[in-house]
Amino acid sequence: MALDYGFADSKRTITGDGLLGSVFRIAGPVDLEALYRFEMLCFKDHPFRRDHIAWILGNDRALTLVEDADEALTAVMMLLFEGRTCRVLSVGVVPDARRRGIATRLMQIAEAFSRKRGCATIRLEVSTENLAAIELYRRLGYRTDGVLYGYYSWGEDAYSMEKPVPHALSEAAPEPSAISPYESININR
């Protein structure tokens, strides 16, 4: 049975309280070319292929959040929900906007979406060479649970990292299909 996460038709925006002017929105198929340009800018040597981005955008279990500024994307996060696990497929911020807390806010939003969807764990893979990202994830409570040798197609190794999703003790996690795509998400827990 397929779960309906309700992402495809959502027009919801999420305001980043700690970031002046930061509003994240859910991307759709119309954003394909902008997302591909973003990948080329942020991940010059190893961007996602256009067909891979299209697959993510078309997947009912995936969610892509973007921040727009000046007719271009400034930040992107791609998530995939697999049962009770949220996988962070990609997090990126344009070079001019880095070190301003945007990636931290995106990861907090991923936690909020995961909590709302009853996920127990958030998982990600990160290049063993990407020291800034590794430090960010460790600061946010992610723990390395293994090394994936030759993980990337270009032969680079990755760390597998995960974090349990904190749920309020008194709240039972809702079924994913019970969550409206227009419902507010509290990212301040």
Identify the burial level of 124 via C-beta atoms within 10 angstroms of its C-beta, where 0-12 means exposed, 13-18 middle and 19 or more buried: buried
Q: How confident is the model at residue 42 (pLDDT cuts 50, 70, 90)?
A: confident
Cα of 63 vs its chain's centroid, Å: 7
Q: How many domains does the chain have?
A: 1
What does the pLDDT read at residue 22?
59
Among 57-61, 79-83, 178-182, which stretch is predicted with the lowest mean pLDDT?
Answer: 178-182
The three-state secondary structure class of 125 is strand
In a domain, 135, yes or no: yes
Mean pLDDT of 83-103: 91
For residue 176, pLDDT over 90 is answered with no
Q: Which residues contact 6 (CB under 8 A, 6 or more apart)?
A: 177, 179, 180, 181
In a domain, 173, yes or no: no
In a domain, 180, yes or no: no
In a domain, 4, yes or no: no
In a domain, 115, yes or no: yes
In a domain, 178, yes or no: no
Considering only residues 12 and 73, tell me which one the structure prediction assigns the higher pLDDT. 73
Task: Name the residue among 79, 77, 9, 86 with its Cα closest to residue 38.
Answer: 77
In a domain, 114, yes or no: yes
In a domain, 1, yes or no: no
Q: How far apart are CA 29 and CA 83, in angstroms?
A: 24
CATH of the domain at 133: 3.40.630.30
Q: How far apart are CA 175 and CA 5, in angstroms?
A: 10
- The tokens describing 129, both together, are 């060479």
For residue 179, pLDDT over 50 is answered with no
What is the gyration radius of the CA atoms in the chain, in angstroms? 16
What does the pLDDT read at residue 80?
95
Q: How far apart are CA 76 and CA 90, in angstroms?
A: 8
Domain span including residue 114:
13-166
The three-state secondary structure class of 68 is strand
Considering only residues 176 and 145, tell me which one the structure prediction assigns the higher pLDDT. 145
What does the pLDDT read at residue 188?
46
Neighbours of 15 (CB within 10 A): 11
Assessment of whether the complete model's pTM goes beyond 0.85: no
How do residues 96-129 score in pLDDT, each as one tens digit? 888 888 999 999 999 999 999 899 999 999 999 9
